[in-house]
Structure 1
Amino acid sequence: MPRILVVDDNAEFGRILQAHLTAHGHEVVTARDGDHGLALIEQESFDIVLTDILMPQRDGIEVLRQVKQRWPALPVIAVSGGGWIKAGDLLDMAERLGADRVLQKPVRRDDLLAAVDALLNEVLPDEG
């Protein structure tokens, strides 16, 4: 069963993503912020990291940078609804820094599952 790490400081949004992904047959672990997410990656194995961009302490851009530097084969999906910066600008930055997919909040269930399935088919062709 593919394992997905969801990193988002919004607990409700994290629960929604977890519900969609679990219903689709994935094991999901949630992290409350970037520091927590990176600590979990150190301790456990994941097939995909899905991270929000705007978070307190260590943001999703830093999570993306760290993952791509330390675990370059680990796919990352960056998600943002923007805030004081337009979501499109943040997602463009995430793509330039190596995000494998980007999704804008509010994330449609079908778009989420399509992005996850596409990445799993690339990294786990026999299981995705």
Structure 2
Amino acid sequence: MGKTVCIIEDDELVRARLADVLRATGHDVFEADSAERGIELIRTRKADVAVVDILMPDRDGLEAIGQLRRTRPDLRIVAISGGGRVGPQIYLDLARQIGADASLTKPISEADLEAAVTGDAAAPRT
């Protein structure tokens, strides 16, 4: 049975690709182009999972993960990052400390995304 997933990603092409992959595997997906919009949508719509980009212009994804964890402790959170000045691993490690259940480095394989969203034991840690 598919999950309801909110993808919070500012890059339109990345967001569309992730949404297409998840829809193709039976998930219901809604999208947000900013952390603020994603948090607002998750407040008003039922979501099982949030896929959250760490580096976004309007608000830090780490801050969004912390807020989502406090307000929706049952929400599965998958942090994603392609880097930044110090590389993605530092951000993803922080995301897990703040409350992300899984973390993925861009580019993200379809199998890794599916495993992280569903909570499969084989889900990658980085």
Map of 1:85 onto structure 2: 86
Give the superposition deviation at 1:42.
Answer: 1.3
Give the superposition deviation at 1:86.
Answer: 1.2
* Count of matched residue pairs: 119
Map of 1:51 onto structure 2: 52
Give the superposition deviation at 1:117.
Answer: 2.0
Map of 1:100 onto structure 2: 101
CA distance in 2, matches of 1:54, 1:24: 26
Runs (4 or more) in structure 1 with deviation over 4 Å come to none
8 Å Cα contact 1:51/1:60 also seen in 2: yes
Map of 2:16 onto structure 1: 15
**Quick one: which amino acid aligns to residue 48 of structure 1?**
V
8 Å Cα contact 1:35/1:57 also seen in 2: yes
Q: Mind listing any 5+ residue stretches in structure 2 that lack a counterpart?
A: 121-126
Name the SS of the counterpart of 2:119 in structure 1. helix
TM-score by length of 1: 0.89
RMSD: 1.0
1:42 corresponds to 2:38 = no
**Quick one: which amino acid aligns to residue 97 of structure 1?**
I
CA distance in 1, matches of 2:15, 2:58: 17
CA distance in 1, matches of 2:117, 2:29: 12
CA distance in 2, matches of 1:49, 1:23: 17
8 Å Cα contact 1:64/1:76 also seen in 2: yes
My pick for the range that moved more, 110-119 or 54-63, is 110-119
Give the superposition deviation at 1:84.
Answer: 1.4
Give the superposition deviation at 1:107.
Answer: 0.5
8 Å Cα contact 2:3/2:118 also seen in 1: no
Name the SS of the counterpart of 2:74 in structure 1. coil
Seq. identity, %: 36
CA distance in 1, matches of 2:40, 2:31: 12
Give the superposition deviation at 1:17.
Answer: 0.2
**Quick one: which amino acid aligns to residue 51 of structure 1?**
V
